[in-house]
Amino acid sequence: MSKLTRLDTVQRIIACGIIAIVRMDDAAGLGQVARAIKEGGVDVIEFTMTTPGALKTIEQCITEFGTSVLLGAGTVLDPETARAAILAGARFLVSPTFNSAVITMAHRYDVAILPGTFTPTEMLTAWEAGADLLKVFPAAAVGPQYFKDVLAPLPFLQLVPTGGVSLENTADFIRAGAVAVAVGSALVDKRAIVEGRFDLLAEKAHQLMIAVREGRGL
Type of residue at 41: G
Could you tell me if 34 and 22 are in contact, meaning their C-beta atoms sit under 8 angstroms apart? yes
Type of residue at 197: R
CA–CA gap between residue 88 and residue 81 (Å, rounded) = 11
DSSP 136: E
Question: Which residue from 177, 172, 182 is spatially nearest to 211, judged by alpha carbons?
Answer: 172
CA–CA gap between residue 101 and residue 95 (Å, rounded) = 12
Question: Which residue from 72, 79, 71, 66 is spatially nearest to 93, judged by alpha carbons?
Answer: 72
Could you tell me if 161 and 181 are in contact, meaning their C-beta atoms sit under 8 angstroms apart? yes
Cα 157 to the center of its chain, rounded Å: 16
Catalytic positions are 46, 135
CA–CA gap between residue 33 and residue 51 (Å, rounded) = 13
What 3-state DSSP class applies to 181?
A: strand
CA–CA gap between residue 110 and residue 95 (Å, rounded) = 17
